[in-house]
Chains A and B, each alone.
Chain A
Amino acid sequence: MQEAISYKSYMAATAGGRSRLHNFLEGAGNGGEHRLVANGCENNVTKLVVENAVIVFGRRGCCMCHVVNRLLLGLGVNPAVCEVDEEKEEAVLHELSVTNGGGVQFPAVFVGGKLFGGLDRVMSTHITGELVPILKEAGALWL
C-alpha cells in the first residue's frame, strides 16, 4: 500500500524539521522498519560504523538508498540507516573515505565495521549468494 506524501509532512521534512523518519518510511510499502540512526552527524559517523553490524549511509530521500534498504529488509536484516543532509554530505563522505581507504559514494553500505560497497556490490553478491553468509558472519542475520 502506497501513500502519497501528505503536503504537511512534506513541508515539515523540507523545512529541515523533525520527522525525517516519517518521510523516509513513507515509501516503505508493507511497513518494514529500519532504524533511523542519526542525521548528518559527522562527528560520530565512525562510531556508528563500528557500533552497527549493518549500516547504510545515503542522502535523504535517495531512491537508491531505498532500494538497498528494501533488499536488506527482504533478507531479514534490520539495517541502521543514516540519512545525511546535503550540507553535511561532503564531510561525512570525507570521513568515511579516510577510515576506509578510498572513494566512498552514496549509498554506502558498511558491514561489520568495514566498507562493503555500494548498490552494485550488494546486488552482485546477492545474486552470487555471497551476501547472506557475509551478513551472518557480521551478526546482522540470524538463522
Chain B
Amino acid sequence: MPFSNLPLLVYIYQIWEEEGIEAIETWNVGEQQELEGDEESKLSIALDINSTCAKVAFVIISKSMNSPTPQFVPSRLSIYEPIHQIGIWGENFKRNGNPNTSTSLIVEVDNKLENESETTSHEMLAPTNNYEQEASKPIDKIQRRLAQNREAARKSRLRKKAYVQQLENSRLKLIQLEQELQRVTQQGLYMGGVLEGSHIGFSGTVNSGIAAFEMEYGRWVDVQHRQICELRTALNAHISDIELRILVKSGMGHYFELFRMKSTVAKADVFYVISGVWKTSAERFFSWIGGFRPSELLKLDPLTEQQILEVCNLKQSCQQAEDALSQGMEKLQETVSSTVAGGPVAEDSYIPQVATAMEKLEALVSFVNQADHLRQETLQQMSRILTTRQAARGLLALGEYFHRLRALSTLWATRPPEPSLP
C-alpha cells in the first residue's frame, strides 16, 4: 500500500474531529466477523480534498490482491451504518452526504485486519491494496463490516485521546506528589525526633493537629497558586477596579486564613510551627518566627511621592516591630536556657527546672501569634497605602515570589547527587 499508515490515520482522526461525527452504538471490536466463503471485503475510505476539509484523505484498501494501487471511486461511496454487536442496526452517522459531494466521509476497514488488533487503526488499513469489488456482493454484509470498522477506528481514536489526557494529568500530579513527598519526608524526620522525645501520651493529639495542618496547608498552597494565576490574567486583561478589589480582598483573606491555621497548630505544637518544617527548604531559609519577615512584603515600587513616604514609614515601623519581637525571642531563649541550666548540677533531679522551662515556653505561642499579627497588620497597611491595581500587582508579586521559592526547593531537592568519594 503506497500510503504510509500513520499520516492517513492522522488525517482521518482530524477530519473526524472537525466534523464531529458520532456513532451511537458501541461495538465490540474483538468480535469475530464472519466472512462468507472467500468473499473479500471492501475497504473504502472517502477522502475529500477541498478547501474546508483540507485534511481529509482518500484511501481505498481492499483485501484482494487484484490491484496494488488504490483508486478513487467516489461513485461507489455510500453511507454505512455502524452495527451493534448483537447485530442491530444503529443510527447512521450524523453527516448524511451525497456520496459524490466533497464532504462525505467514510472509513471502512477490513474486518479481518481489525480483528488482529483493536488498538491500532492503521493495522486495519494495512495489508490490503485492492479496492472496489463487484457490486454484486451482498451489500449488507459489506456495509456491516465497514460500519464496524468505522466504529473501531472511532473508539481507537477516543481511547488515544483519553490516554493522552490521562498522561498529562498524571504528569502534573507527579510533580505535585514529589513536592508533597519532600515536605512529608522533612516532616517525618521531625516527627521521628518528637516521638522519641515524648514518652507521654500527648503525641497522639499533637500528631493529629499537625496532620490536619499539613493537609490544610497543602490545600492552601493549591488555592494560592490558583489565585495567583487569576490575578495574573486579571491584570493582563485590564478588568475593572471593582472586580480587582474583590480579587485583592480574597487574596489578603487567604493569607489571614493561613495565620488562623498557624495559630491553631501552634497551640498543639509550637515547635512545629517555629521550626518551619511545613514549609519548603528555601522558604525555611528566610524563616522568622515561624513565617516570612513582614518587611519582605515591602518590596514593590510605589508611584506617588506620598506613597513613597508612607511606605518608608511603614518600612521603618515594621523593622522596629520586628526588632522588638526578635529581642523578645532572644530574651525568651535566655530565660529558658538559664532555667534549664539552673539548680544544682550535682544532683540528679532536674524535673523542677525542666517543668519551669516548659511553662516559660508557653510564651513561644504568643510570639508566633504576635509575629502573624504583625504580618497581617503590615499586609493591611500596605493595602491602605496602595491603589487597588498596585495592591493586586503587589499580591501577585508576593505570591509569585513564594511560588518561585517553592520551585527552588523542588529543584534543590532533585539536584544530582554529589559523586561519592572513594
Contacts and interface: CB of A to CB of B under 8 A. Distances in A.
Contact of B321 (A2, A64, A126): A126
Contacts of B328: 63-64, 66-67, 70
Given A74-B324, A127-B314, A63 B363 contact: yes
A117 to B, nearest CB: 13
A123 B330 contact: no
Contacts of A29: 327, 330
Interface centre among A62, A75, A127, A128 (most CB of B within 10 A): A127
A27 B317 contact: no
Given A62-B363, A70-B327, A71-B324, A127 B342 contact: no
Given A29-B330, A123-B377, A129 B363 contact: no
Given A120-B370, A128-B377, A128-B384, 12 more contacts: A2-B334, A7-B342, A10-B338, A63-B367, A67-B370, A68-B324, A71-B321, A74-B320, A119-B366, A126-B317, A127-B374, A129-B317
B330 A126 contact: no
B331 interface: yes
Contacts of A124: 373, 377
A4 interface: yes
A128 B318 CA distance: 10
Interface residues of A, number: 27
Nearest to A14: B342
Nearest to A5: B338
A50 to B, nearest CB: 26
Interface string B311-338: 0011001101101110111111011011
Q: How many B residues touch the partner, as a band? A: 20 to 34
Given A10-B342, A124-B377, A129-B313, A63 B370 contact: no
9 contacts: A7-B342, A27-B330, A29-B330, A63-B331, A63-B367, A71-B324, A74-B323, A124-B377, A127-B377
Interface of B: 313-314, 317-318, 320-321, 323-325, 327-332, 334-335, 337-338, 342, 363, 366-367, 370, 373-374, 377-378, 381, 384
B332 A63 contact: yes
Nearest to A71: B324
Interface of B: prevailing SS: helix
B384 to A, nearest CB: 8
A67 B320 CA distance: 10
A26 interface: yes
A66 B323 CA distance: 11
Interface of A: 2, 4-5, 7, 10, 26-27, 29, 61-64, 66-68, 70-71, 74-75, 119-120, 123-124, 126-129
Q: Give me the 7 closest cross-chain CB pairs, A-B, nearest first.
A: A67-B328, A27-B331, A71-B324, A70-B324, A63-B332, A127-B377, A5-B338
B330 A75 contact: no
A59 to B, nearest CB: 10
Contacts of A127: 314, 317-318, 321, 374, 377-378, 381
Contacts of B366: 64, 119
A2 B333 CA distance: 11
Nearest to A6: B338
Contacts of B324: 67-68, 70-71, 74
Contact of A123 (B342, B363, B374): B374
A26 B342 contact: no
A129 B321 CA distance: 12
Contacts of A2: 330, 334
A67 B368 CA distance: 13
Given A7-B342, A26-B334, A123-B377, A67 B317 contact: no
